[in-house]
Copies of this chain bind each other. A is one copy, B any other.
């Protein structure tokens, strides 16, 4: 095991050259801001934060976060102006507040204005909390940096790393907190094997507010906050399952899985034949928005289609959504795949009405269906009629209802400009590699849950 982990570390630990480089760049930016602040008489504290500041960044990750703290009551724009001046070639971005992004010496530099508060419970916006996180982790993580690197890479490998809305996984800060809690990478994996939904991790014994999230990690610097709020139940247990499976049979491929190969036409047709389900693809232009805006709308759209099928008696086997192509180029595409048990239902549909003793509603129900195919009759105490189904195929149903679905502003606008629907073998017409990789992952659907004992023996 330790050889294996050393092998992983050799790949993910930044080289001394990389370290030196980031320190130099950070130092240059820090002193430049401080200098400018001095020259302009601006009272501020400039801090390097994030993984780079804590030596917990993965080799190849070139993110540099520098926060410019100003006293509460002063103007954040003063700090923003310093950032603008430091990097004349920049891009302004917005989270809760504006910040400045620039590429400096090969690094992705974010310069973020924030308020200097005495206590994380007094923050004005989420960014004000970051310096507290930085201080908390920095003072405790010493000597365990490699454990964090292993954990982050493992989480990447099993697809649960990242707290953005697209992923719903573990943030870097959460990975650090877990290492502080369990003292090592393997300790975290062992701990995760015992997790149950509603698991609580509370380093400082705050016993804070109740959360209903699957994993509750009380933020040591702000007991009201759950560090794992973004983590979905399935990603929590995808991680736990992979942890147990890895402990049973440690393999490097957990950290560095082979990417899915795009499906060929023959493979795609092979999958359709093997499953004999009804597969529908809906596709339209993606709005020019960041993923954190698009993905919640995409999930909402997916759910709206699932509800539509459900309401009309079509039962879904599985579904998935994704974003392909370059969104900022206007060449992005939203893709939603739905897999149904059957694509065609009978003409007749059972329509269950009110209880017989509810006289008014029974009368209304029966008179609303003056010529049912069969009935009315009594079943389980209720009036029932059998009537003609409006849409007997899922594809007719979707085509006729697509534009009426509730799916969020940006997505809805794009969808109304036009969309395509593909059924079964028509999917072969969609040839781009990203989609074919997405389908490869969709069809195989293999996750690291439990390596088979046979596999164990053959190692």
Contact = CB atoms under 8 A, between A and B. Distances in A.
Interface of A: 193-197, 214, 233-234, 237-238, 240-241, 244, 274-278, 313, 317-318, 341-342, 344-348, 350, 355-357, 359, 362-363, 366-367, 370, 373-381, 383, 386, 392, 443-447, 449-450, 452-454
B342 A234 contact: no
A381 B234 contact: yes
B341 A452 contact: no
Given A234-B380, A275-B373, A366-B450, A345 B350 contact: no
Contacts of A454: 370
A378 B234 contact: yes
Contacts of A386: 275, 317, 445
A305 B238 CA distance: 38
A241 B362 contact: yes
Number of copies of this protein chain within its complex: 2
A240 B275 CA distance: 49
A445 B196 CA distance: 50
A314 to B, nearest CB: 10
Contacts of A195: 357
Query: Top 4 closest A-B pairs, CB basis?
Result: A277-B346, A237-B356, A366-B450, A276-B347
Nearest to A448: B376
Contacts of A379: 234
Given A241-B362, A373-B274, A392-B276, A452 B367 contact: yes
Q: Is the interface of A mostly helix, strand, loop or mixed?
A: mixed
A347 B450 contact: no
A89 to B, nearest CB: 44
Nearest to A248: B363
Given A275-B373, A356-B240, A233 B381 contact: yes
Q: Which of A193, A196, A197, A450 has the most CB of B within 10 A?
A: A450
Given A449-B376, A450-B362, A237 B275 contact: no
A350 B450 contact: no
Q: Which of A194, A196, A241, A453 has the most CB of B within 10 A?
A: A241
Given A342-B345, A366-B452, A377-B447, 16 more contacts: A193-B359, A234-B381, A240-B356, A241-B378, A274-B373, A275-B346, A275-B373, A276-B347, A277-B346, A317-B348, A362-B449, A366-B449, A367-B450, A376-B450, A383-B449, A383-B450
Contacts of A346: 275-278, 317, 341-342
Nearest to A443: B374
20 contacts: A195-B357, A214-B381, A233-B381, A238-B378, A241-B362, A241-B378, A241-B383, A244-B362, A275-B346, A275-B348, A277-B347, A277-B348, A278-B346, A318-B350, A342-B345, A356-B449, A366-B452, A370-B454, A374-B446, A383-B449
Contacts of A193: 359
Contacts of A194: 357
A97 to B, nearest CB: 37
A378 B452 contact: no
Q: Which of A356, A375, A392 has the most CB of B within 10 A?
A: A356
A350 B317 contact: yes
A377 to B, nearest CB: 5
Nearest to A366: B450
Nearest to A454: B370
A272 to B, nearest CB: 10
Q: Which of A374, A379, A383, A392 has the most CB of B within 10 A?
A: A374
Contact of A196 (B196, B357, B376): B357
